[in-house]
Amino acid sequence: MATKVHMEALSPTMEEGQLVKWLKGEGDEVSSGDVLAEIETDKATMELVARGDGVLRAILLAEGGTAAVGEVIGVIAGADEDISALVGEGGGSGGGGAADDAADAPAAEKDDADADPVADEAASAPSEAAAPSSDEAASTEPSGRVKASPLARRLAEDTGVDLASIEGSGPGGRIVKRDVEAARSAPAAAPAPAASKSAPAPADWSDAGAQESYDEVPVSQMRKAIARRLTESISPVPHFFLTVDVDMTRAVAARKQVNALVEAEGDRVSFNDFVLKAAAAALVRHPDCNAAWHGDHIKRFHHVHMGVAVAIDDGLITPVVKHADRKGLVQISREVKEMAGRARQKRLKPDEYTGATFSVSNLGAFGIHEFTAIINPPEAGILAVGRIEDTPVAIGGEVVVRPRMRITMSCDHRVIDGAQGARFLQTLQAMLEEPAAILV
| Ramachandran angles phi, psi of 335, nearest 5° | -65, -40
Q: Which residues of 346-361 are buried (b: 16+ CB within 10 A; e: fewer)?
A: bebebebbbebbbbbb
- What is the structure's pLDDT at 142? 52
Residue 94 and residue 155 in contact, taking contact as beta carbons nearer than 8 Å? yes
Residue 221: the pLDDT is 79
Which contacts of 362-369 are long-range, i.e. CB under 8 A and separated by 24 or more positions?
Answer: 362/272, 362/275, 362/309, 363/387, 364/271, 364/272, 364/388, 364/405, 369/406
Nearest Cα residue to 37 out of 428, 289, 411, 45: 45
pLDDT confidence of residue 283: 97
- The pLDDT averaged over each successive group of 10 residues in the chain (440 residues) is 90 84 92 91 86 92 88 91 75 46 37 37 37 43 63 74 79 72 67 49 61 77 80 81 97 95 93 97 96 92 96 88 95 96 89 94 95 93 97 93 97 95 97 88
Give the pLDDT score at 271: 96
Q: What is the pLDDT of residue 139?
A: 55
What b/e readout covers 28-62, taking b as 16+ CB neighbours within 10 angstroms?
Answer: eebeeebebbbbbbbbbbbebebeebbbbbbbbbb
- DSSP β-ladder status, 306-308 and 358-362: parallel
Give the model's pLDDT for residue 191: 47
Per-residue model confidence (pLDDT) at position 12: 77
Q: What pLDDT was estimated at residue 201?
A: 56
pTM for the full predicted model: 0.62
Per-residue pLDDT at 229:
76
- The rounded distance, in Å, linking the Cα atoms of 249 and 254 is 9
Q: Are 23 and 54 in contact (CB under 8 A)?
A: no
- Per-residue pLDDT at 412: 94
**Residue 291 phi, psi dihedral angles, 5° rounding:** -145, 170
CB-based contact 351:322 (threshold 8 Å): no
As annotated, the active-site residues are 413
Under a CB-based contact definition with an 8 Å cutoff, are residues 290 and 357 in contact?
A: yes
